[in-house]
Structure 1
């Protein structure tokens, strides 16, 4: 009986013995690991450094192990911040080291064993690398604002204000544009953000802020270049900018809360107000020039297309040159996001216009107005809402959108030029077309209205 009982208990006893041995080994390893960890106090432990600048951090090391204990400082991401030389920290030693910022982002400076590459301390330095505001950024902003003001004076010389009043009386076109701008685009950008950046709320925020922004002033320029209804385009841009006072807070405080629930957002009403005045004042100046200085107005109308093309080219090239650093953040998802926002806007805006049986020049203006977002306001909102580091990182989305926006429109422009060169309309067909448009009351330019030779230039 005794023998049987001993035999039955042996497996259980062996199991408990093995368990005791394993636990003992774990405790010993933990004790050795804890004793081997150095205590290093960094001052400061959180630093902010600008790209290509250097900052100094002091340290004080203590350890319960012998005096020979040493470790090597390292950066977890040298692309963001690095140390120009190797820094060794030894037990019971004080000193300092330099950290140089390299690119936007966050990283950690810590200490490791040089032979095993194992981290030997729980203490570290949290590093944020930011971008400085440069003189070229201010020059770009000022020059772009000046050129856009001049182009809007040209628009004021071109616009047939009687047609604007007619469009207000029958607001089907502007209504389609507002629906596309403030219903379709926010939903598109929200959905694309979830699809492309499910684990990156900052990029989703950049997309959503772009989608809820009003139409961009470039829509009027492209409408003029592609021979759309410029009166309808300017009216929609003006209405869209004013409507942004209500629609932007509505979207940001409803659907936007699902992207970040704890953000304390404030609407930049002063910025949007200044944008409205920046749009309306040059238009008013152009109207006065066209009314009282007809020769000057006619000249400004004649140079509208060429000046608009140069402005678009200037903005694209200058924007790319001044924001070259953002291309390091580009990935295939950001490229797809940059294409998806405006290109889907063009397509859906055009489809909506055709569903409501709008003429071709109206459909073109509505499509352009829907697809082109005011990325400047999106960037401003991101910088106003987020801390500098996250603001710089998230602005890659509106910059990508701005870069990808012109490609389909440029393709249409090239197609139009090729068609005009190789398959031109006959003069008699043009006359008949003008007669049909005038009799059907769908001609928004009136080839013989007033003395605006600029309108003939756009026709």
Structure 2
């Protein structure tokens, strides 16, 4: 028979001691209550200190029956994000013999303070720990954190806001931003040709694909990235900024990129115009369906409502300038022509303004920058381009439409997103969430520039395998007047008769229009006549060949 092995007696002693501490802690937690006054602080300014009260109560009958009047308890105050705010002292020893009796409860009160460090949201959690007076209270020996049914009720919901001295510069930035975007929308409206828009809508498949990817795929993508990459880490304000950016309409820069990459410019302009108009409905809709989840604090008493009124009023302020531009293009075409000349340079100015002036007035963004925020800001436009491209290809759209839809899906109007966040939401959500549209604005050109380089390489390679073309100048005579003309001719494209090394246009009859008085006017000649002239000129341009 094998004898039973006994463990180390010292280890058994410590296990017994630990079990005793756990039992004591559990028994205390059964009749202990913790409250914080005030439970919410949402206006703590950076580098300022605020006092708050922690109150621990015990049922008098249970407390006395367990003979705990001379015991020592310890409170631990811990910040979830020490870089945002931190308590001035973390551990406090409670001598229960000094508690006060009130309404059948033994009350222990503790006045302490918290200091704001950095713009953001956090919580100060309070944990009750039982200990033995013979142990060193400076260490977390055998500490047992409290597990209440609603532990979040024992946390101080804390928001740290920016210094008011910086807020005035922020208001200037928002005011100038509204003005700049309004001007940009007027110029964009001047470029809208309603006849072209109606012609594009007559073939509704491509605009319908663009609407689906813009207002269904992008918000869902933004929600997935925000939920998995940001909200899961407690970065709710960042998640809000990314989601609002994903719900924003297409940006004016999409038209520029579409032209640069040989896409369907008319389709791009139409989708930008329609998405801007429809955003007044779609953005509030998505905020009601999903966006509200990112407006939260760390205390159940915290209620943050979606500011639908401010969102709608902001969008109306942006749509009115767009309609003014459309009116100018319709009734003042000369003004519209001048406006169209400065549209693209002005859009570039808007992007530079957002990045440069926004960075100067919001230097705090550099301190808030995190890898999850950078990754999410890069993924959103990249996924938008990919989904827009793949869906268009699956639905058998021609290449120019694929390019336009992909770009329109991935290029968001980050200016509108920043303005909505700054104008509609309260601090610190407004300031923190505005970082994500800035990251998206900086990340968007990267895949587009990469695509442009690939496009140019393919184009150059294709041109090198195709026949070269030259412009041939000649004089056309009509009614006794000599007129200089130019025609583009392909070199080396003629099929040769290898037996005679001559182009295969021998025995061609001379058309009646070619009477020796000069070549025909390309604007008046028929296709047959111009084809004949081209073939004759090709022989002339082929060394050693005499035309028939």
Q: How high is the TM-score relative to the length of structure 2?
A: 0.56
How far off its partner does 1:318 sit? 3.2
User: Which of 51, 54, 57 is matched with 2:48 structurally?
Assistant: 54
Give the distance between the partners of 2:365 and 2:195, measured in 1 at CA: 45
Query: Which whole-Å deviations, capped at 9, do the CAs of 1:290-339 have from their partners, x for residues lacking one?
Result: x2448xx34x4444433332322222233444444345554444333222
Q: What corresponds to 1:126 in structure 2?
A: 156
Q: How many residues align?
A: 410
Kindly indicate whether structure 1 or structure 2 has the higher relative contact order, using CA contacts under 8 Å at least 6 residues apart.
1
Q: What corresponds to 1:100 in structure 2?
A: 115
User: Which of 208, 211, 221 is matched with 2:246 structurally?
Assistant: 211
How far off its partner does 1:260 sit? 9.7
Matched, 1:144 2:177: yes
User: Which of 291, 312, 315 is matched with 2:351 structurally?
Assistant: 312
Instruction: Name the SS of the counterpart of 1:140 in structure 2.
Output: helix
Matched, 1:279 2:322: yes
Give the distance between the partners of 1:32 and 1:187, measured in 2 at CA: 44
Give the distance between the partners of 2:379 and 2:42, measured in 1 at CA: 35
How far off its partner does 1:239 sit? 1.5
The structure with more strand, counted as a fraction of residues: 2
Matched, 1:78 2:82: yes
Q: What corresponds to 2:200 in structure 1?
A: 167
Instruction: Name the SS of the counterpart of 1:284 in structure 2.
Output: helix
Give the distance between the partners of 2:56 and 2:223, measured in 1 at CA: 51
Q: Relative to structure 2, which stretch is displaced further, 367-376 or 203-212?
A: 203-212
CA gap of 1:431–1:417, structure 2 versus 1, over 3 A, is farther
Instruction: Name the SS of the counterpart of 1:100 in structure 2.
Output: strand
- Tell me, which stretches of 5 or more residues in structure 1 are unaligned? 1-17, 436-459
Query: Which whole-Å deviations, capped at 9, do the CAs of 1:398-436 have from their partners, x for residues lacking one?
Result: 444333222223445567789999989977599979x9x
Matched, 1:115 2:158: no
Matched, 1:269 2:308: no
Give the distance between the partners of 1:258 and 1:32, measured in 2 at CA: 34
Between Structure 1 and Structure 2, whose CA radius of gyration is higher?
Answer: 2
Q: What corresponds to 2:273 in structure 1?
A: 238
- Tell me, which stretches of 5 or more residues in structure 2 are unaligned? 1-11, 58-67, 99-107, 130-135, 147-152, 297-302, 473-485, 490-521, 523-548
CA gap of 1:426–1:255, structure 2 versus 1, over 3 A, is farther
Report the aligned-residue RMSD.
Answer: 5.4
CA gap of 1:125–1:427, structure 2 versus 1, over 3 A, is farther
Q: What corresponds to 2:382 in structure 1?
A: 343
How far off its partner does 1:236 sit? 1.0
The structure with more helix, counted as a fraction of residues: 1
Matched, 1:403 2:442: yes
